[in-house]
Amino acid sequence: MSSETTPAISIRGLKKDFGPLQVLKGIDLDLYRGEALGIIGPSGSGKSTFIRCMNMMEAPTAGEITVLGKKVGKGFRSRGDKIGIGELRRRVGMVFQHFNLYPHRTVLHNVTMGPVIVQKKSETEATELAMGLLSQVGLAEKRDAYPNHLSGGQKQRVAIARALAMEPDVMLFDEVTSALDPELVGEVLQVIERLVDKGMTMALVTHEMAFAADVASRVIFMDGGVIAESGDPSVVLHNPESERLKTFLARFHK
């Protein structure tokens, strides 16, 4: 964990309702700079909703989110101690289960669009940045390919490069391997592991328990819309306190 005292993301009293359904029931969490937070739990526990609230893809029903010391809010302008949604999403990148690439644009164009449109970089500057990132994820030779000509693992690696092109302070990964064939999972996890090794601050929802054990600096177990257990991966994943977590983990050791 970083020696920085100000968390990259600080969350207090986070709640999220969808009509009468209360999905998040009051979550407090600090994500520190340089930390890789693994988020595990059964389907319906609120994991994806929680991570989507972190960059306001879902607006919380209640609670407060602070990013890099600035309070987040819809309608906020990024100034002083507040940060608006646009600036938030530049600072907190997100990669989804289903890639969300533009199918009629090349790999290179998918990666350069954000820096050119949002950050107003020149095409030359954005291309140089994008090619460096595509090399980092092992896809420089696919720069002129279209997404439909890529495997699922390649698409997900392009999606990671696209998120990194905005030069975020934090990366969020929402079950990024769940839509992939088993033989393609490893290539995506290797990219994320390299980001961890470089000190990228991140939170990742995952069902890859071995991966969480290897790369996460902390793991939280969500159940019923709350954080039920939290701690070092060696403790949470190998010596859980609750029967609920023991039952959940048993499914991965058959």
Q: What is the mean pLDDT of residues 28-51?
A: 95
Say if residue 34's pLDDT is above 60.
yes
pLDDT for 41-81, tens place per residue? 999 999 999 999 998 999 999 999 999 888 987 766 667 78
pLDDT for 150-162, tens place per residue? 999 999 999 999 9
pLDDT at 18: 95
Half-sphere exposure of 160 (CA within 13 A, CB side): 31
Q: What is the mean pLDDT of residues 30-42?
A: 96
Q: What is the mean pLDDT of residues 128-141?
A: 96
pLDDT at 89: 87
0.85 exceeded by the pTM? yes
pLDDT at 230: 96
Determine the length of the chain.
254
- Calculate the average pLDDT of the chain: 91
pLDDT at 1: 41
